[in-house]
Amino acid sequence: MNRHLQNGVRFALQRTAMLAVVATLMTATSSLHAQENVPSTEQFQREINDARNVAEEARQMFAQLEFNAKEAGDVADDDIAQAKLYFDGFVKRWTTVSELFEQNKPDEARKMMSDAWSTLRGRDRWRERIGIRIEQVRTAPKSQDIRREQTWTGQDVYPALFDYIERSKAVSEAWGKLADSMTPEASEEDIRLARQAVNAANSEREIAGAQLHWAREAAGLKELRGVTTELDDSLRALETVQDQMVENMRARVELERKRDDTEAARRAALDEARKAADVARKAKEEAERAK
C-alpha cells in the first residue's frame, strides 16, 4: 500500500470516528435538554471530552496535511495557508462547544454543534485539496526525466515522445484545476466535472504513452517505406490496427463519462424526489391535523 493510499485510509478512519463523536454529542445533548432540571458540569463531562477530542483530532489532521504538503513544495504553500485558517476556525468552534458545556449552557452548545456540521465538509475538502495538489506536482513532467528519455530515443520517435510530454503536462494542469475547485463552498457538480477533466486528460496520456511505445517498436521501419510493396502493406495494416486501438480507448473513456453523467442525474433526481416527499409529508400531516 503506497503512502498516499495509507494517508487516505487514515483520514477516512479519522473522519468516521469524528462523525461518530459528533453524532454522540448531538444525541446526548438532545436527551439532556429534555430534562427539566439543569444538569451540573459533571453530567456534561462526556460531552466536554468529546468536543475536545474533535478539536484535537482536527489539529492532528492539519499537522499531517502540513507534513504531506511538503511533497508538493511551494506549489502548496497558499493551500496550506488557507487550510490553516479554516482548521483554526474549526478547532476554535469545537473548543467553544466544550467551554459552553463547562459553563452549563447546553442550549448554546447544541446550537453551535448544529452549525458545526457544515464545517465538516469544508475540513474534508481542504484535506482532499492538499492530496490533489501533490498529484499535480507528481504528474508534472520533470526536466531530468525528459532529458533521460531523449538520450535513448531516436529522432524518428521524437514526435511521439514530445506528444507524450505535452499530454503529461495536461494531466498535471487538470489536477491543478481540480485542486483549485476543491473549496468548502464549491458545488458537487463543479467538482465532479473537474474530476472528469482529470480522467479525460489521463486517458489521452495513456493513449500517447501507447503511441510512444508503438513508435519505439517500429523504429527504423518507416524509413524503408516504398522499398517493397509487402512492407508498405504491412505498415498500413499495423497503423490501421493501432488507430482502432486508440478509438477503442477513447470509446471506453466516453462510456465512463456517460455513466458518470447518468449517475449524477440519478442522484439529482433522487434529491428532488426527497424534497417533494418532505413537502407531501408535511401536507399530509397538516391535512390530518385539520380533521
Longest dimension (CA), the chain: 100
DSSP per position, 128-181: HHHHHHHHHHHHSPPHHHHHHHHHTS-GGGHHHHHHHHHHHHHHHHHHHHHHHH
Cα–Cα distance measured from residue 197 to residue 193, given in angstroms and rounded to the nearest whole number:
6
- How large is the average pLDDT for residues 38-65? 83
pLDDT at 222: 74
Q: Is residue 16 predicted with pLDDT exceeding 70?
A: no
Co-location of 121 and 174 in the same domain: no
Co-location of 187 and 249 in the same domain: yes
Co-location of 152 and 263 in the same domain: yes
Q: Which residue, 138, 157, 172, sits at the end of a domain?
A: 138
Co-location of 49 and 89 in the same domain: yes
- pLDDT band with cut points at 50, 70 and 90 for residue 273: very high
Co-location of 148 and 286 in the same domain: yes
- pLDDT band with cut points at 50, 70 and 90 for residue 106: confident
pLDDT at 223: 73
Co-location of 170 and 77 in the same domain: no
Q: Is residue 4 predicted with pLDDT exceeding 70?
A: no
Rounded percentage of the chain residues whose pLDDT exceeds 90: 39
pLDDT tens readout for residues 192-218: 999 999 999 999 999 999 999 999 888
Lowest-confidence range among 27-41, 56-70, 88-102?
27-41
pLDDT at 15: 55
Co-location of 112 and 96 in the same domain: yes
Whether 58 and 123 have beta carbons less than 8 Å apart is answered as: yes
DSSP per position, 219-264: TTTGGGTTS-HHHHHHHHHHHHHHHHHHHHHHHHHHHHHHHHHHHH
Q: Environment class of residue 43 by beta-carbon count within 10 Å: exposed (0-12), middle (13-18) or buried (19+)?
A: middle
Whether 61 and 11 have beta carbons less than 8 Å apart is answered as: yes
Co-location of 221 and 194 in the same domain: yes
Q: Is residue 37 predicted with pLDDT exceeding 80?
A: no
How many structural domains does the chain have? 2
pTM of the model: 0.72
Q: Which residue, 108, 138, 168, sits at the end of a domain?
A: 138
State the chain's mean pLDDT as an integer: 84
Compute the CA torsion angle 55, 77, 205, 165 (nearest 10 deg): -160
Co-location of 196 and 96 in the same domain: no
- pLDDT band with cut points at 50, 70 and 90 for residue 290: confident
186: enclosing H helix or E strand: none
pLDDT at 232: 86
- pLDDT band with cut points at 50, 70 and 90 for residue 112: confident
- pLDDT band with cut points at 50, 70 and 90 for residue 33: very low
Helix/strand/coil percent split, the chain, to 5: 90, 0, 10
Cell triple for 88: 483554526
Q: Which residue, 85, 120, 138, sits at the end of a domain?
A: 138
Co-location of 106 and 223 in the same domain: no
Co-location of 152 and 15 in the same domain: no
Co-location of 133 and 204 in the same domain: no
* Residue numbers of the domain that contains 125: 3-138
Rounded percentage of the chain residues whose pLDDT exceeds 70: 86
